[in-house]
């Protein structure tokens, strides 16, 4: 305890020198905290989005092949991709998983959909449109998915099961709270859903409500109707819809949509080749979302690179300055150290005293530095990102609307900066420690004289 108290007193006895050291350490830790916050956040953004970007595959037109067809004369052949081929591609060895989905606009005479009978102007529909007299206006939409684990709205929290559970078996479904309230539905109730043909000759789809979900999604279609209101969505399994189409309706009720997820982003070329071998038309190809990549990953990579260079520069320059200050400090404190050793104080206790002084200074600077870093990291990151975008534009680069990277201080950042602070404490006291361990008391006193 005496050594600790004496170390605190020493800090106040040598105010001028210690203030300079504290300012340098505080500056280093502040810049280190800013760099670490930026680097750790961008690393997480890059890792997370690269996994999504690298593995999520879309089917799109191959513009090169289409232009070749047009150049050779005639119209380019772009046939629709059959549901059979889409399902066949899902069995590829290169895929980690596949999202298979179907949409079935439908009608339930015993149920009412939200916004049913309304148009964009909210006026009541009088009669059916010309040519639609033989059909009901859809009042709900059934969605079939092969797995609930990939449903983005539920993963992002826009939809959340509030009662019951997500469907796990065929012929089960989940409905929104608003839809359930409007129709007085509860868990375990059975609902009958038909296609929109008034003269339909096949039995309705029978589903049991397994769960009810909260829905905060928005209408994305720009007009009001029962089919565009997302709270009228009935969600069930793909197998339920497949069984109903093949065994009951025995006619096409929907079109299959697929999204493929590769095991490894590097397998895109092999998967593309295999897809064409399985029957995918030559004018189609597998691709990734390059625009989103340019908007998110590239700015994050540039920001991480700048922060790393900045961090390394600060640590190197700051460490050199700390070592020089430590040398000057020991030259001033030779007599003090020599007297303590001559009085019989062991080397270990003198070393502990110097280490305590460094640790106290570092600890105070660490708390202040982390606080300043947490406050200033976001505006500094925004300035760097904007400057990079301006430079790309001035050199004729393609302007891309970059998404803002929201920074936050994580536990990892605090631990990383704390480790660096500990290293700085060791560096700042290393010269004194080596001096004490190397020389005997009389040598230290004689050198000072």
Rounded Cα distance between 367 and 370, Å, is: 5
Please state which of the ranges 107-116, 216-225, 236-245, 375-384 shows the lowest mean pLDDT. 375-384
Mean pLDDT of the 388-394 span:
52
- Percent of the chain at pLDDT > 70 equals 78
Distance spanning both ends of the chain, measured CA to CA: 32
Tell me, what's the pLDDT at 397? Answer: 45
Whether pLDDT at 446 is above 50: yes
Q: What is the mean pLDDT of the chain?
A: 80
Q: How many helices (H) and strands (E) does the chain have?
A: 13, 10
CB within 8 Å of 266: residues ≥ 6 apart: none
Give the pLDDT confidence score for residue 291 in this predicted structure.
Answer: 64
Task: Determine the pLDDT at residue 285.
Answer: 84
Tell me what pLDDT residue 266 has. 74
Residue listed under structure tokens 């298979």: 100
The total of other beta-carbon atoms located within 10 Å of residue 110's CB is 9
Confidence at 100, pLDDT banded by 50, 70, 90: very high
pTM: 0.57
Average of pLDDT values for 172-184? 95
Average pLDDT over residues 23-43: 84
Asked whether residue 77 carries a pLDDT value surpassing 80, the answer given is no
Which residues face 172 on adjacent strands?
208
Smallest Cα–Cα separation from 242: which of 229, 256, 228, 231? 256
pLDDT computed for residue 140 by the predictor: 93
- Band of the pLDDT at 207, cuts 50, 70, 90? very high
Output the pLDDT for position 39.
Answer: 80
- The beta strand positions in 253-402, using DSSP E, are 256-262, 284-287
3 state DSSP class of 125: coil
β-pairing, 205-215 with 172-176?
parallel
* pLDDT given for residue 439 in this prediction: 59
Residue 383 has pLDDT above 70, yes or no: yes
Among 14-23, 35-44, 269-278, 424-433, which is the least confidently predicted range? 424-433
Closest CA to 14 of 387, 431, 328, 391: 328
Instruction: State the DSSP H helix or E strand holding residue 103, giving kind and residue range, or none if neither.
Output: strand 95-106
- Residue 36 or residue 163, greater confidence: 163
CB atoms within 10 A of CB 131: 7
What are the boundaries of each domain within the chain?
2-53+293-448, 95-260
pLDDT at 400 over 50: no
Averaging pLDDT over each range in 74-88, 172-186, 331-345, 430-444, which range is the top one?
172-186
Q: How many CB atoms lie within 10 A of CB 307?
A: 24
> Is residue 445 packed enough to be buried (19+ CB in 10 Å), middle (13-18) or exposed (0-12)?
middle
User: CA 351, CA 334: separation in Å to the nearest integer?
Assistant: 13
- The tens digit of pLDDT for each residue in 271-318 reads 989 998 988 888 888 877 666 666 667 777 777 788 888 888 888 888
In this prediction, residues 186-207 reach a mean pLDDT of: 91
What b/e sequence results for 219-239 when a residue is b if at least 16 CB atoms lie within 10 Å of its CB, and e otherwise?
eeeeeebbbbbbbbbbbbbbe
| pLDDT for residue 401 | 47
Q: Is residue 206 a contact partner of residue 190, using CB atoms and an 8 Å limit?
A: yes
Calpha distance 233→230 (Å, rounded)? 6
């Amino acid at each position: 305890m005496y050594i600790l108290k004496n170390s605190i007193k020493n800090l106040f006895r040598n105010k001028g020198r210690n203030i300079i050291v504290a300012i340098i350490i505080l500056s280093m830790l502040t810049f280190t905290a800013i760099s670490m916050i930026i680097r750790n956040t961008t690393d997480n953004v890059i890792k997370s989005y690269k996994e999504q970007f690298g593995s999520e595959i879309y089917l799109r037109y191959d513009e090169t092949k289409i232009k070749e067809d047009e150049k050779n004369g005639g119209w380019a052949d772009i046939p629709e991709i059959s549901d059979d081929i889409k399902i066949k591609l899902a069995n590829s060895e290169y895929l980690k998983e596949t999202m298979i989905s179907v949409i079935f606009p439908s009608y339930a005479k015993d149920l009412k959909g939200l916004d049913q009978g309304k148009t964009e102007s909210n006026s009541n529909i009088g009669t059916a449109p010309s040519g639609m007299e033989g059909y009901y206006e859809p009042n709900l939409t059934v969605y079939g998915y092969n797995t609930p684990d990939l449903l983005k709205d539920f993963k992002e929290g826009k939809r959340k099961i509030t009662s019951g559970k997500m469907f796990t078996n065929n012929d089960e479904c989940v409905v929104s709270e608003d839809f359930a309230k409007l129709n007085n539905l509860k868990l375990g109730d059975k609902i009958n859903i038909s296609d929109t043909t008034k003269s339909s000759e096949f039995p309705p789809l029978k589903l049991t409500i397994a769960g009810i979900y909260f829905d905060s999604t928005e209408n994305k279609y720009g007009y009001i109707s029962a089919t565009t209101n997302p709270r009228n969505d009935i969600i069930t399994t793909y197998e339920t819809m497949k069984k109903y189409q093949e065994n009951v309706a025995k006619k096409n009720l929907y079109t299959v949509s697929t999204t493929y997820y590769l095991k490894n982003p590097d397998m895109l070329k092999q998967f593309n080749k295999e897809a064409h071998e399985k029957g995918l038309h030559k004018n189609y190809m597998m691709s990734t979302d390059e625009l989103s990549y340019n908007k998110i990953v590239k700015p994050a990579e540039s920001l991480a690179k700048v922060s790393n260079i900045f961090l390394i520069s600060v640590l190197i320059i700051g460490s050199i300055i700390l070592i020089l200050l430590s040398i000057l400090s020991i030259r001033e404190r030779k007599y003090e150290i020599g007297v303590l050793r001559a009085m019989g104080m062991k080397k270990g206790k003198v070393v502990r005293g110097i280490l305590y002084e460094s640790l106290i200074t570092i600890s105070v600077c660490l708390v202040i530095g982390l606080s300043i870093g947490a406050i200033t990291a976001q505006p500094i990151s925004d300035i760097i990102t904007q400057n990079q975008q301006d430079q790309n534009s001035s050199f004729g680069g393609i302007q891309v609307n970059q998404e803002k990277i929201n920074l936050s201080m994580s536990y990892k950042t605090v631990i990383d900066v704390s480790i660096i602070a500990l290293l700085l404490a060791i560096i700042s006291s290393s010269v004194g420690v080596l001096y004490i361990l190397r020389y005997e008391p009389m040598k230290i006193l004689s050198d000072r004289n």
